[in-house]
Amino acid sequence: MTQARLTDLSAVKDGVIKPGYTPADHGNGIVHLGLGAFHRAHQAVYTDDALAASGGDWRIIGVSLRSTTSADQLNPQNGLYTVLERSSAGTKPRVLGSISGVLAGPAALPQVIEALTAEGTKIVSLTVTEKAYGIRRDTGEADTSHPAVAHDLENPDAPTGVLGLIVKALRIRRDAGLPAFTVLCCDNLAENGAHLRSGTLDFAKRIDPNLAEWIAANVTFPSTMVDRITPASTAQTLEDAQAATGFSDLAAIETEPFSQWVIEDDFTNGRPDWDKGGALFVQDVVPYEMMKLRMLNGAHSMLAYAGNLCGCTYVRDVMDNADLAKLVDRHMRAAAATLPDLEVDIDAYRADLISRFENKSIAHETAQIAQDGTEKLPPRIFAPALDAIAKGQDIDPFAFAAAAWMTFAVEKQNTLQDPRADDIRAALANETTAEGISNALHALSGFVPSDLQGHAPWRAAVAAHLQAMMQQSLPNVVASTARAL
Ligand code: CS2
């Protein structure tokens, strides 16, 4: 017998946490671009808490620019879905009501513009992944070689990408005399708000300099640090959600108990009381962002490449390998040493990260984290490496991580999931030696910061690790590196 879909809250089984408000009583105030599992496990949960605590018209219209999967999952369920919080203590199910519906795929673009320009829309938030923005890391300008940016600069009235959609919507709002919205970047980018502001202003300037001035004066782009480890859903996720709620839920997700959101309190048109769900509003997010990007995400990237090449499918398997776990700890310590002073107990933060990575109930694939290395390495590995150089600290853990990425790129080049996969294959085509491979990958445009490229000890350390990784098997290199510590 096929089970009925989750469509209303009344018959959801006892024992499941339900929204502390009536979803249909609340209008929309947020348009969210990029409705993946992470948004459903993070911002949508804080919004659910804020709606329960303070009410308001803050429900979320989700947008998925390419795939219609989330719309097919959520729309037949009136936006309802289950979050399974998994830990060694068991699984805690909760049904969320903060998403009102999803607009998806290229056919929905006119409705997306309608949503972005609705008077009630006060915030446009984003989790579109690092590669979707099309903003140059070195200059902060719109990257005209990015396909969506190039398309949207040619067709500013029919945009399909992030910058084009935001700028078109803001143009319509300005012309209609509507207030602006806040643009809230929730992706793992360094200084994500300032970065998106800079790319948006540059994009707007290329179309209409007056519009760029209006955006600069009226739109805010708070930076945020977001954190919750959320693996891709599996058949088991859906099965467990169904058992918990009594309904079939194709939009169910699973995540860890830990959640953190630090937000720069700079909203142009109001905001939900996300602090009621535990979010922290601060003046300056940058130190928190650096801490998380370098310690959590940096260690994640290192362990994803090294762990995957050692045959570890999940992060928890990496942590079960004593040698790899030692390297994870070393990486976090080196990353912590590069941070500015923070009112955070860094040792406790590191200990928490280690136990989060060890969570046996979370099946977080190393292959998932290993995707998009050319987007992830700059803020996670290269930026702290440069700071370590400036402070005279040990760069070896960062060089090891870069070499692990290179080894992964060489070994998996035919199936590499990376927006620069073609460039990587072309760079590797005629290279056979560690030094040649390292040089070719360092030379990828806009990837390794020039100061790091030109730093001879860095280059030597990366090439030496790469050489060892190419000559011996990864487990041997990991073992000898860990044992030498
Ligand atoms: C991970 C992140 O896939 C990745 O690159 O490092 O998605 C990580 O799980 C989250 O940032 C945790 O908040």
- 105-159 confidence digits (pLDDT tens): 899 999 999 999 999 999 999 999 999 999 999 999 999 999 999 999 999 999 9
- The CB of 300 under 6 Å from ligand 1? The reply is yes
What pLDDT does 401 receive? Answer: 98
Is residue 113 within 8 A of residue 63, CB to CB? The reply is no
Is residue 123 within 8 A of residue 181, CB to CB? The reply is yes
What pLDDT does 3 receive? Answer: 87
Nearest Cα to Cα of residue 61 among 132, 130, 114, 8: 114
Q: Ligand 1 pocket test: pick from 39, 297, 314, 332 the residue with the most ligand atoms within 8 Å of its Cβ.
A: 297
Token representation of residue 369? 């984290």
- The CB of 229 under 6 Å from ligand 1? The reply is yes
Is residue 28 within 8 A of residue 57, CB to CB? The reply is yes
- The CB of 297 under 6 Å from ligand 1? The reply is yes
* Ligand 1 centroid, distance to 436 Cα (angstroms): 31
SS3 content of the chain, % helix, strand, coil (to 5): 50, 15, 35
Nearest Cα to Cα of residue 388 among 463, 445, 333: 333
358's CB contacts (< 8 A; 6+ apart) are: 316, 319
What pLDDT does 343 receive? Answer: 86
- The CB of 74 under 6 Å from ligand 1? The reply is no
* Ligand 1 centroid, distance to 218 Cα (angstroms): 32
pTM of the predicted model, to two decimals?
0.97
What pLDDT does 43 receive? Answer: 98
Residue 478 φ then ψ, to 5°: -60, -45
Task: Count the Cβ atoms, other than its own, within 10 Å of residue 176.
Answer: 9
* Ligand 1 centroid, distance to 7 Cα (angstroms): 30
Which residues in the chain show pLDDT less than 50? 1
Whole-angstrom distance, CA of residue 463 vs CA of residue 473: 16
Helix (H) or strand (E) segment spanning residue 102:
strand 99-104
210's CB contacts (< 8 A; 6+ apart) are: none
- The CB of 227 under 6 Å from ligand 1? The reply is yes
305's CB contacts (< 8 A; 6+ apart) are: 366, 370, 373, 401, 404, 405, 407, 408
450's CB contacts (< 8 A; 6+ apart) are: none
Label residue 2 exposed, middle or buried (CB < 10 Å: 0-12, 13-18, 19+). Answer: exposed
Q: Ligand 1 pocket test: pick from 39, 130, 229, 256 the residue with the most ligand atoms within 8 Å of its Cβ.
A: 229
- The CB of 129 under 6 Å from ligand 1? The reply is no
